[in-house]
């Protein structure tokens, strides 16, 4: 980016985001600095993580005034442009599947450096103490209203759904909380009851309860999606291994699950319209079994533990140099 635009050693990463676009998502003509609080953004880069036609339909990127006028997203490609009025652009509506991008904005103003803020946050967290066991989920939770769809309902929560809950439901899962059922009805809105989703939860599928607690709904969702990604490998490698304890749901447990569903999946039809087509392929690719799911839980814990150790090892260098480079030694 610095070399192409002739601003060597001047750019700072202002924001990095892993962006998921599903059916109905689109962006009309705009520039990336069209809001006052985004004026610090000088350049943008979009790294495509999956491909048009194979993983999703729609979602073509268009420039208003430049050639090529249309960019076809393909996994591994990166698009870079100035984030100003010279590059008015739009993205077509997603009509099927899920479009995934890693999007970065860059600034010439060092005060907006994302790394400095992240280093400060990590330095103040448990990351400085490698003796502490890390939580087996990433990242830290965002404010609850960031997970409610559609966003124009976030003040009332009278309709729509929690995105995390809807993703799990579309994959064939529900969640169970051991909290007293009366606490659900006592709360005035799903905004208040969203605290339940950040408490320990268990996972259910059909009439069975996976007898292990997850830290919160993000932890549940990350393990489930990891399982969907790795299921075929896990089923081969874990053949014959004993599954963790799974019990039949009782009637009272079913009532609690239904209460959670009513609270966080108010617009079930909208959720299914958005997420079900995206998950159809996942259901066709593998059959579910609790033994391989148990293996996914273990594998995810191993991954997050490894990542935690890497962050701890690199934090001091990152803090002093403001960046991390992996440079191979001579002859390696």
Q: Could you state, in order of their start, the residue ranges of all structural domains in the chain?
A: 1-112, 144-308
CATH class of this structure's domain 1-112: mainly beta
Q: Mean pLDDT over residues 293-308, rounded?
A: 88
The total number of residues shown for the chain amounts to 332
Beta bridge partners of 176: 202
pLDDT of residue 281: 56
Integer CA distances (angstroms), 181 to 187, 196, 211, 216, in order: 11, 11, 19, 18
**Predicted TM-score (pTM) of this structure:** 0.73
Q: Is residue 154 pLDDT above 60, yes or no?
A: no
pLDDT > 70 in the chain, percent:
77
Q: Which residue has the higher pLDDT, 39 or 93?
A: 93
What average pLDDT does the structure give for the chain?
Answer: 81
| Alpha carbon distance 115, 106 (integer Å) | 12
Most confident of 113-122, 262-271, 311-320: 262-271
Nearest in space to 274 (alpha carbons), one of 7, 24, 9, 15 = 24
pLDDT digits 0-9 by tens, 174-218: 999 987 655 555 444 444 578 899 899 999 999 999 989 999 999
CA pseudo-torsion sign 304, 192, 148, 175: positive
* Contact between 123 and 315 (Cβ < 8 Å): yes
pLDDT band at residue 155, thresholds of 50, 70 and 90? low
């Amino acid at each position: 980016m610095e070399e192409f635009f002739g601003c060597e050693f001047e750019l700072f990463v202002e924001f990095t985001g892993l962006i998921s676009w599903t059916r109905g998502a689109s962006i009309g003509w705009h520039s990336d600095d069209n809001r006052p609080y985004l004026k610090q953004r000088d350049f943008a880069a979009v790294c495509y993580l999956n491909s048009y036609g194979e993983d999703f339909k729609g979602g073509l990127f268009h420039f208003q005034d430049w050639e090529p006028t249309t960019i076809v997203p393909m996994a591994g490609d990166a698009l870079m442009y100035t984030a100003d009025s010279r590059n008015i652009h739009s993205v077509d509506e997603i009509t099927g599947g899920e479009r995934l991008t890693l999007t970065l904005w860059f600034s010439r103003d060092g005060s907006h450096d994302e790394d400095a803020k992240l280093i400060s946050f990590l330095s103040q967290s448990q990351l400085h103490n490698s003796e502490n066991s890390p939580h087996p989920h990433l990242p830290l939770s965002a404010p609850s209203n960031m997970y409610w769809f559609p966003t124009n309902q976030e003040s009332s929560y009278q309709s729509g759904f929690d995105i995390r809950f809807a993703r799990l439901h579309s994959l064939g899962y529900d969640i169970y909380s051991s909290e007293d059922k009366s606490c659900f009805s006592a709360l005035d809105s799903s905004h208040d009851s969203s605290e339940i989703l950040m408490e320990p939860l268990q996972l259910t599928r059909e009439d069975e309860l996976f007898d292990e607690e997850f830290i919160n709904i993000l932890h549940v969702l990350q393990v489930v999606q990891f399982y969907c990604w790795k299921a075929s490998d896990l089923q081969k490698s874990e053949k014959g291994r004993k599954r963790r304890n799974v019990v039949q749901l009782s009637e009272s447990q079913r009532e609690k699950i239904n209460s959670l569903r009513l609270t966080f999946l108010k617009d079930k039809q909208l959720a299914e319209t958005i997420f079900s087509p995206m998950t159809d392929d996942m259901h066709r690719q593998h059959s579910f079994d609790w033994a391989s799911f148990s293996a996914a839980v273990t594998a995810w814990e191993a991954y997050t533990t490894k990542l935690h150790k890497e962050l701890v090892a690199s934090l001091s260098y990152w803090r002093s140099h403001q960046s991390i480079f992996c440079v191979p030694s001579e002859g390696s």
